[in-house]
Amino acid sequence: EAGVAQSPRYKIIEKRQSVAFWCNPISGHATLYWYQQILGQGPKLLIQFQNNGVVDDSQLPKDRFSAERLKGVDSTLKIQPAKLEDSAVYLCASSFFPSGSTDTQYFGPGTRLTVL
């Protein structure tokens, strides 16, 4: 089966600019996650969608980050304006996740963002 797809793979921007990342989950997966992985650390959840609804966005810096999941399939994560500390790899993951259970999360290749 096809895996989680992300684009772009790399992005370099100046601080205060805006940037958007795209994710296409595995077909049929209801739950989609965006994680931020700073160099040398484990991934940290930014936002979790189930279908097109937000389940958890408690760690999302809402003054600059936004995310949406179009029609419960693809998702975009946006940063506006970017700060130096946003430099990280942004990982998208998906899982089948029937309500009330925990299921395997499959990760995409990530987008490496460098903010100068």
Partner 1 sequence: GENVEQHPSTLSVQEGDSAVIKCTYSDSASNYFPWYKQELGKRPQLIIDIRSNVGEKKDQRIAVTLNKTAKHFSLHITETQPEDSAVYFCAASINQGGKLIFGQGTELSVKP
* Residues near partner 1, by CB under 8 A: 4, 31, 33, 40-45, 48, 55-56, 91, 95, 97, 100-110
We find the least distance from the C-beta atom of residue 97 to partner 1, in angstroms, to be: 6
Whose Cβ is closer to partner 1: residue 64's or residue 112's? 112
We find the least distance from the C-beta atom of residue 64 to partner 1, in angstroms, to be: 21
Whose Cβ is closer to partner 1: residue 17's or residue 37's? 37
- Ordered DSSP codes for the chain: ----EEE-SEEEE-TT--EEEEEEPPTT--EEEEEEE-TTS--EEEEEEETTEEEE-TTS-TTTEEEEEGGGS-EEEEESS--GGG-EEEEEEEE---TTS----EE---EEEEE-
We find the least distance from the C-beta atom of residue 50 to partner 1, in angstroms, to be: 8
Whose Cβ is closer to partner 1: residue 21's or residue 33's? 33
We find the least distance from the C-beta atom of residue 28 to partner 1, in angstroms, to be: 16
Whose Cβ is closer to partner 1: residue 56's or residue 85's? 56
